[in-house]
Amino acid sequence: MTGADHAASARRSLSAAERALLDVLIREAVPGGGEAVPTGADRDRWLGMLDAFVVSGECGCGLCPSIELEPEPAPDHPSGGERIVLSADLADGSALVLLFIDGGVPSYLEVAPFGDDPVGLPASEQLTIGE
């Protein structure tokens, strides 16, 4: 998503499908090569935060359902720290699914299509993780 692709949107709760996708990514997805691997405690903390997340923005590219995430209330730990990107592929090869974690807080769910065809939010059974 680029700045031009960002669509302003009202803050809203996560949909059940978004929450389910975040849940499986946090539990099972792995970072790309060379990135820090999250601990079980990290994953448990992120799972514990899911109910507090709202969607604070949506991608406006017209091809993907990518969303910006924010916890409410904001976490009481300092921001900063490293970025971890958890990733999975769609089993049909049409897109890459990424969960960005910045400063210990999930911040962006990206569903990035590999072509010019729009993709929807995948269900967990459509993912290939760590292969």
Query: Each residue of 21-73: pLDDT tens digit?
Result: 999 999 999 997 777 789 999 999 999 999 999 999 999 999 999 999 999 87
Number of domains in the chain: 1
What confidence tens digit (pLDDT) does each residue in 97-111 have? 999 999 889 999 999
Q: Which domain holds residue 111?
A: 3-128
Distances (CA, A) of 74 to 46, 54, 63, 78, 97: 13, 11, 30, 10, 25
Whether the per-residue pLDDT at 128 is higher than 80: the answer is yes
What confidence tens digit (pLDDT) does each residue in 66-80 have? 999 999 877 665 556
Cα radius of gyration (the chain): 14
Rounded CA-CA distance 73/81 in Å is 19
48 CB burial (10 A radius; 0-12, 13-18, 19+): exposed
Whether the per-residue pLDDT at 95 is higher than 60: the answer is yes
